[in-house]
Amino acid sequence: MPSSPNYKRNYRQEYDAYQGTTTQKKNRAKRNTARSQATIAGTVHKGDGKEVDHKVPLSKGGKNIKSNERVISASKNRSFPRNKDGSMK
């Protein structure tokens, strides 16, 4: 992706190419179901900064079952493993 200051990101194209695919829609529905179940169980609440994480990601063949889910902070769930110098592993 170009980093020029005049570059305008095409969100519609990104959605159509990735998020709009049938597979990604199904995975999104599974993530929403996991969050809903955790809310009912009382382990997460709206605005608490926590997310339901799949230990084995759905994209890597993980299942949407309780033993594959855990509640962690949003910042930890969205970060990547890093080396001591800050570069990604």
pLDDT in tens, 11-25: 999 888 888 899 889
pLDDT above 60 for 61 = yes
pTM: 0.68
Closest CA to 32 of 59, 9, 52, 18: 52
The neighbour count for residue 51, using CB atoms within 10 Å, is 19
Record the tokens describing residue 68, joined without a space.
Answer: 């594959």
Mean pLDDT of 6-12: 88
pLDDT at residue 47 greater than cutoff 60:
yes
pLDDT at position 1 is: 54
Output 50-58 pairs: Cβ under 8 A, ≥24 positions apart: 50/74, 51/77, 53/77, 58/27, 58/30, 58/31
